[in-house]
Amino acid sequence: MLMVNVHCRVMEKRKLLGVTILILVLAVYLVQNPNFSTLQLREKLKDKVIVICGASSGIGERIAYKYAAAGAKIVLSARSLDRLAKVQTKCSTLGASSVHIIPQDFSKLTGIENFRNNVLEIHSSIDTLVLNHAAIPLGPWIALPNQQDHQFTTRTFNINVLSYIELTRVFLPDLEITSGQIQVTGSISGWCPFYQAGLYTSTKHAVNGFFYSLQQELLAKQSPITLTVFTLGLILTPEMDTLISSETDTALIPDLFKGKVDECADVIVSSALTRPRNVDYPIFSVKSNRFMAYVFPYFHELATFTYGLSYDDIVQTHERIRKLGDKIGYQLGNK
């Protein structure tokens, strides 16, 4: 009996030690990404040439404002000329050295070479390429025949994956000259399958596959280019907040599991100074999901039991969200 009690106490101490080590590891693992003051950013980024794809709204718009406040030379691109013009005006008032707009539909890959030429006609060099544009088709794939259409699938992959690769290809020689940076906004959907957005999830897996491989290649080549991949969780842009709050109160979502759009932009722009290869935001949400995907690769199957809605209810919910997205002009890619 004495030996049993001693063994139990030893096991309890080991468990306590294990928990303590786990907490310490998590504390290091969850360290926040550093942010810098506007003055610090201006010291390093003034007159740098920043090309931002997907700059007309959401995260891309806020990234543009942060770079503008740092005195950068900015080239804005997206489909909507009207929206880009509004972002251009605000960037100018915030202190950008210069702001140009080049409207571009990135679903058409044949125009990307010309896009690069247009950028270099304005500026003779480029320091940072921000790949942020995206189509976000939502809803269960089986229930949405329009998402099963070959042209729809091709368009989604053109925007979310192939245009990223093509933009990287055409700008790579220019970024080599300036020891520049490529900033890629990825998603936790690229790590954890999500059955309510199958096409979007698959494109983000493809983005991870290509750009993490490219990171290895740049390192092996000893290239001066820094490639930073941002794994983003739920970011409450005004548009996304409107869509989600139409079905549920976003205040009920714990702060650990949602990110603020301005803070997200701060993290992305600050990386132009720190040059990391990988950044997660929001920290806890993304890293906990990534950890679960590593230790329990099939944990995503549990998602089908946690929503509290039937499959048909989810289909109807996404149909309402899609209609609202169309109404407010948010690019969901469902048409």
CB neighbour list of residue 34: distance below 8 Å, 6 or more residues apart: 270, 274
The CA-to-CA distance between both ends of the chain, in Å, stands at 71
Query: What is the model's pLDDT at position 334?
Result: 45
Q: How far apart are CA 17 and CA 136, in angstroms?
A: 44
Q: What are the per-10-residue average pLDDT scores of the chain (335 residues)?
A: 52 58 52 76 96 96 98 97 97 98 96 98 97 90 89 96 98 98 95 87 97 98 98 85 69 76 95 95 88 81 68 80 70 49
Residue type, 127: D
Token pair, residue 61, equals: 């718009």
27 falls within a domain: no
pLDDT for the residue 225:
98
Q: Helix axis angle, 163-178 relative to 112-122, nearest 10°?
A: 30
pTM: 0.87
Whether residue 154 is contained in a domain is answered as yes
Q: Which domain holds residue 292?
A: 42-328
Asked whether residue 9 is assigned to any structural domain, the reply reads no
Q: How many domains does the chain have?
A: 1
Dist. CA 271–CA 274, nearest whole Å = 5
At 131 the pLDDT is 98
- In angstroms and rounded to an integer, the radius of gyration of the C-alpha atoms of the chain is 22
Question: Would you call 232 helix, strand, or coil by DSSP?
Answer: strand
Angle between helices 238-245 and 311-328 (to 10 degrees): 140
* pLDDT at res. 324: 73
Distance CA 328, CA 91 (A): 23
Sign of the Cα pseudo-torsion (156, 157, 161, 165, in order): negative
Instruction: CATH number of the domain at 165, please.
Output: 3.40.50.720
**pLDDT of the residue at 277:** 95
Residue 94 identity (one-letter amino acid): L
Residue 22 lies in a domain: no
DSSP for residue 106:
T
Report the b/e string of 31-69 with b at 16+ CB within 10 A. Answer: eebeebeeeebbeebeebbbbbbbbbbbbbbbbbbbbbb
Asked whether residue 2 is assigned to any structural domain, the reply reads no
pLDDT the model gives residue 5: 53
**195 inside domain:** yes
In a domain, 34, yes or no: no
Beta bridge partners of 182: 129, 227
* Active site residue ranges: 200
User: Would residue 15 count as lying in a domain?
Assistant: no
Please report where in the chains the tokens 């976003």 appear, as a residue: 250
